[in-house]
Structure 1
Amino acid sequence: MKLNHPTGQAAEDRALAFLLEQGCELVERNWHCPYGEIDLIMRLGDKLLFVEVKFRKTQAFGGAAYSITPNKLAKLQRSAEYYLQINQLNTACRLDAVLLQGTASPQWITNLTG
């Protein structure tokens, strides 16, 4: 699926390039299901990473990190579980985020659910 907003597309492109530089491999991009969307599904070694990408121009109102609400996290978790179920996968996985703040270097938050 194509993103409708050029800023969102550029942020995802930037996050994807960053993760590829870290040794990840792209599995899916903008994967949709009844529970929501997963921005990036990546493989790192034997783990699947379900990655939420958040971009904010400034730190105002808490910045990119603040925009990952408990509701958003729950949707991401349900979507990841659905992906594993429909693809009949029994593999190690985790929920991550790549936060982009203006032109600063990407911040990779691993294991959002602790």
Structure 2
Amino acid sequence: MTLGQQAEAHAQRYLEQQGLTFVERNVRYPFGEIDLIMRHKSHWVFVEVKYRSATQYGGALQALSAAQITRIRKAANHYLQLNRLDVPCRFDVIAMEADQIHWLVDAF
């Protein structure tokens, strides 16, 4: 298991402990990828997981670019259309640095 996969698994467990329900992981399309899809009450939550073992080149949150946000949004819209879902959704970020987890709800 790669470091990225380990971080995603850890993020999934963390979110489940916070009351979210796991739906799917690593949904890929040619134009973008969604790390985790979760449900929280009536909302579908598209989660981007960022992990950095060291912060000397910037923290996990700084690793999320505007282009990535655009690709994630596009992938989420495609997922909703493919699955014929007309539900409220949001985009969260799990930023992991060393042994800390930061959960940004409705991050973008």
Counterpart residue type for residue 35 of structure 2 = D
Question: How far apart, in 1, do the equivalents of 2:11 and 2:96 lie?
Answer: 8
TM norm structure 2 = 0.95
Deviations 1:13-36 (A, max 9, x none): 110110000000111100112221
- What's the % identity of the aligned pairs? 37
Q: Give 1:43-62 correspondences, 5 Å limit.
A: 43-62=39-58
Note the residue ranges of structure 2 that are not aligned, 5 or more in a row: none
Q: Which residue of 2 aligns with 1:79?
A: 75
Structure 1 equivalent of residue 98 of structure 2: 102
Gaps of 5+ in 1: none
Please provide the CA RMSD for this pair: 1.0
Q: Which SS does the other structure have where 2:60 is aligned?
A: helix
Partner residue of 1:92?
Answer: 88
Please report how far the alpha carbon of residue 58 of structure 1 lies from its aligned counterpart in structure 2 after TM superposition: 1.6
Residue type of the partner of 2:93? A
SS in 2 for 1:29: strand
